[in-house]
Chain A
Amino acid sequence: MFSAGAESLLHQAREIQDEELKKFCSRISKLLQAEDLGPDTLDSLQRLFLIISATKYNRRLEKTCVDLLQATLGMAACPEQLQVLCAAILREMSPSDSLSLVWDHTQNSRQLSLVASVLLAQGDRNEEVSAVGQGVLRALESRQPEGPSLRYLLPIMAKVVVLSPGTLQEDQATLLSKRLVDWLRYASLQQGLPHSSSFFSTPRARQPGPITEVDGAVATDFFTVLSTGHRFTEDQWLNVQAFSMLRAWLLHSGPEGLGILDTDDRSEQEGSTLSVISATSSSAGRLLPPRERLREVAFEYCQRLIEQSNRRALRKGDSDLQKACLVEAVLVLDVLCRQDPSFLYRSLSCLKTLHGRVRGDPASVRVLLPLARFFLSHGEAAAVDSEAVYQHLFTRIPLEQFHSPMLAFEFVQFCRDNLHLFGGHLGTLRLSFPNLFKFLAWNSPPLTSEFVALLPALVDAGTALEMLHALLDLPCLTAVLDLQLRSLPASSERPLWDTSLRAPSCLEAFRDPKFQGLFQYLLRPKASGATERLVPLYQLLQPMAGCARVAQCAEAVPTLLQTFFSAVTQVADGALINQLALLLLGRSDSLYPAPGYAARVHSVLSSQFLALCTLKPSLVVELARDLLEFLGSVNGLRSRASLVTSVVWAVGEYLSVAYDRRCTVEQINKFFEALEALLFEVTQCRPSAALPRCPPKVVTALMTTLTKLASRSQDLIPRASLLLSKMRTLTQSPATSSMHSKEGAEAICTRATELLTLLKMPSVAQFVLTPSTEVCSPRYHRDVNTALPLALRTVSRLVEREAGLLPG
């Protein structure tokens, strides 16, 4: 356990001074020079490792010390403890310019493996990766039994290929493919011999037994990673390693991996799948060129794994491994079919059977994702209707497994990475968003960024409104999912939920038939096309609004809303934009009461409302009635101040014939009245402890918009002027000084004065407050003879003069 003692050790290691370190190193050097490989050296090297690894800054070691560490690593008699430490120290120092380590094939393979780990950590500054790769290849080429054990070297090859894909020549790649075929297909079927047979052991006991399957039966076919025994031979170890690196190697050595085209004419093969099958049946297999032969063997191996996974494993570990093997087998088959379509026909039937087998088994749920990917990639080519695969995947799995963090991540990653494969099935994916949102609602911290990437692809004009509702209700969904888990019968696999939270009333409500409809609506697996008002649920579930999972989800929603809007505005037509604007206003006062949620959502909604207006200015005229209604019903203004400000500003900006010819004087007058009443309401109402103060921004926005409207319907000017001078007086009276801060009152007063001045010259006011769209063109600002700079100068002179006359 990490304790205070460990913390102080870490500090000591970091703070050790260069002088001390120098002394310490010379002590180590002495020990190593004397080839003292005892406990003192071990202890010192452990400390040295800590000193070097504990800091991100470079530690300088004497050259002698570094050289000795390298020499000790290469010493045949050195115990493993010391060797791994020497390698670890050198690795932790890397990249380092003082390294002189080279690949020396006389060393044993364990040492070579450690040397490789140091060399591969250098960042390939001096082509170390390729040098290591060539070293391993030389070992592969020499088939002498006394050569270095390849078991320790094969993983290096895998890493080399990943780090530096172009490092192998064609003939070297062929060699590796050949060796992989041998290990994968022809590992012995007898168990390994005990390392040392004692004097007393009878010859009978030394007789190795046959390899068995995971269920204990004697193996019926070739050795795989799912074959088991008490001891393993070298080639069985290599079988495990070969399969472990198989997929990476196939990808690398495939047609696109090496940049070498296959000599066979692929297009011909693709045309006639059936004729190829007979040509590649296993009897002819041995005659194939090495790369094709490897694919053939890989195919057989995967088929055997799928068959072996059907056996009932005696050990828990083996049962877990069966699942991982199934995933890998499907992934490998996918690679094979992409590289050589002739495998497609042979894989399909087996994978269809596999799907039938695992779809009913909750323990194998993770296998469904690679399977679905396979059908996505190849379903069309193979003319298989795989809709049922996706239907099952998107309908059942999120519903039942949303609480598994690993599955949730993998599921969403699957959707995100394979968007380009969905094609005709994109509709299925898009309609499933309510189900996908369950993963998000339950696991928001790791999945928010995933959904930011995925959401744009899910947004569709047809479901946009429903999706916006669903996003706003996400924290409520979290609460309901929690209730759903609680109300399930206790299962063996305990999902993680907050047991400290007790909300009996919520659970009762969840079971109450009266609310079943609403709960079922929220838990629907697919977009339904309808929307339900969930307000009753918000009240019922209020006791859960404060729990941590709901709070985490509530924090994610604003980001997701931003993503949603930036995507939806790309596909929305005018009618949808109107509907979105209405929805946004309507939902602003009906949100799940998670702490702080409303404020964060309002701030996004208000900026998005303005964005919608910019996109389609005529929405103000088209939705005039609804906006009036909204402005007339803002008794909860203070919690929605930001949204109200945006609406007020938008009215001032866009309620004008310049944006929509349908705008009438009557409309302007109506808005003027509504806003006048609103201004009156917010300024007259007495401040109280329960209500926060009305932000001065709302007041100034209201005044400005009223002035703008007056400038467009000049009969209103006297009323507006009166109102503004009232406001000016009001802010200066001591009675209302408690309403606004000093700065706030000043801002209001200044704005009122400016607007009053403007209104004295109606034509200038109209020009300034409703500039024509031409103001956007640069000429309008650069050319001093055009009207705008001139007008602005006039106006500012006027305003300054008036302001100078003001008392105080």
Chain B
Amino acid sequence: MLLFSVQPHQPLDTLPDTASTHPGAMVHAFLIHTLRAPNTEDTGLCRVLYSCVFGAEKSPDDPRPHGAERDRLLRKEQILAVARQVESMCRLQQQASGRPPMDLQPQSSDEQVPLHEAPRGAFRLAAENPFQEPRTVVWLGVFSLGFALVLDAHENLLLAEGTLRLLARLLLDHLRLLAPGTNLLLRADRIEGILTRFLPHGQLLFLNDQFVQGLEKELSAAWPR
């Protein structure tokens, strides 16, 4: 795909105008995964704890049997590939900033998580690697959990960053993710409830504070804490 691989010394005026041809500006997927402690010989693998793909990329025309199964396998692999990359980006950033590995554990569950200071970043995924279209990943690391949005290449990054922070805050609050012994694996309904309101079908919303509060009230009514 020519769109994002600028060939050396291609005459500049022949480059495609990426913005006018881009398909759209939405979120392709949201995922929550584990972050292993840096600098430790941690056992285990990077685990995707939850993922939601908003509208699948068009399936390839594949006449072989079990096409659907292969398609699903591919989607799961794509998400895992994103999780692994986020984990390594987060680890590298933590190492570079000299954060001790114990930072991965909250001091106490009641503590307000300073999401503005949490490790965060963005990186690009080239077309066909792993998604058909080029994508941008925005991620946020909160203790041992990684939250990531996979975006269409030209989404409003500032809005995406704010939305990701909001989602992380809501998930931490409404699922009490930092309390010892809580487990998000069996609480997918709450996660779904949050996503359908705050990121409906992968649409980033311009929500001011009062809209957020309104939606949160609605959420608390459907899922009493």
List the interface of chain A (C-beta within 8 A of B).
1-3, 5-7, 9-10, 13, 42-43, 45-47, 49-50, 53-58, 79-82, 84-85, 87-88, 91, 93-97, 110, 113-114, 116-117, 120-125, 129, 152, 155-156, 158-159, 161-165, 214, 225-232, 237, 240-241, 243-245, 247-248, 251-252, 256, 315, 317-318, 320-321, 323-325, 327-328, 331, 334, 338, 366, 373, 405-406, 409-410, 413, 416-417, 419-423, 426, 443, 445-446, 449-450, 453-454, 456-457, 494, 496-501, 547-549, 552, 563, 566-567, 570-571
Contacts and interface: CB of A to CB of B under 8 A. Distances in A.
A56 B77 contact: yes
Contact of A117 (B89, B100, B145, B201): B201
Contacts of A165: 23
Given A161-B24, A498-B98, A500-B100, A156 B201 contact: yes
Contacts of B220: none
Contact of B222 (A80, A317, A571): A80
A1 B177 contact: yes
Given A6-B184, A552-B95, 12 more contacts: A1-B180, A53-B50, A56-B76, A159-B55, A241-B205, A256-B21, A328-B159, A405-B122, A409-B124, A501-B98, A548-B96, A570-B8
A230 B210 CA distance: 6
B201 A113 contact: yes
B81 to A, nearest CB: 12
Given A9-B186, A251-B24, A252-B24, A95 B68 contact: yes
Nearest to B179: A1
A163 B88 CA distance: 30
Q: Which of B5, B8, B55 has the most CB of A within 10 A?
A: B55
A419 B6 contact: yes
Contact of B188 (A3, A46, A120, A256): A46
A156 B4 CA distance: 28
Contacts of B49: 2, 6, 10
Contacts of B156: 324, 327-328, 331
Give the residue among B22, B26, B50 with the most A Cβ atoms within 10 A: B26
Nearest to A249: B24
Contacts of B89: 445-446
Contacts, number: 317
B143 to A, nearest CB: 7
B173 interface: no
A13 to B, nearest CB: 8
Most buried by B among A96, A366, A443: A443
A422 B145 CA distance: 40
A425 to B, nearest CB: 11
A46 B25 CA distance: 32
B59 interface: yes
A227 B57 CA distance: 35
Interface of B: 4-9, 12-26, 34, 44, 47, 49-59, 68-69, 71-73, 76-77, 80, 88-89, 92-93, 95-100, 105-106, 117, 119-124, 126, 136, 138, 143-145, 152, 156-159, 161-162, 177-189, 192-193, 196, 200-212, 214, 222-223
Contacts of A240: 205-207, 211
Contacts of A81: 189, 193, 222-223
Contacts of B180: 1, 3
A5 B98 contact: no
B124 A449 contact: yes
B123 A446 contact: yes
A256 B137 CA distance: 28
A325 B206 contact: yes
A9 B47 CA distance: 12
A163 B132 CA distance: 12
B175 to A, nearest CB: 11
A803 B101 CA distance: 62
Nearest to A501: B98
13 contacts: A6-B183, A7-B47, A80-B222, A84-B192, A113-B196, A113-B200, A121-B55, A159-B203, A413-B124, A419-B6, A443-B121, A496-B119, A549-B95
Contacts of B16: 420
Contacts of B106: 1
A50 B24 contact: no
Contacts of A227: 208
B209 to A, nearest CB: 4
Given A2-B145, A162-B24, A47 B92 contact: no
B96 A549 contact: yes
A796 B61 CA distance: 57
- 8 tightest A-B CB contacts, nearest first: A498-B98, A123-B59, A162-B24, A496-B97, A456-B8, A420-B15, A56-B76, A549-B96
A450 B5 CA distance: 10
B6 A453 contact: yes
Nearest to A498: B98
B205 A120 contact: no
Given A2-B49, A548-B96, A123 B57 contact: yes
B68 A96 contact: yes
B188 A163 contact: no
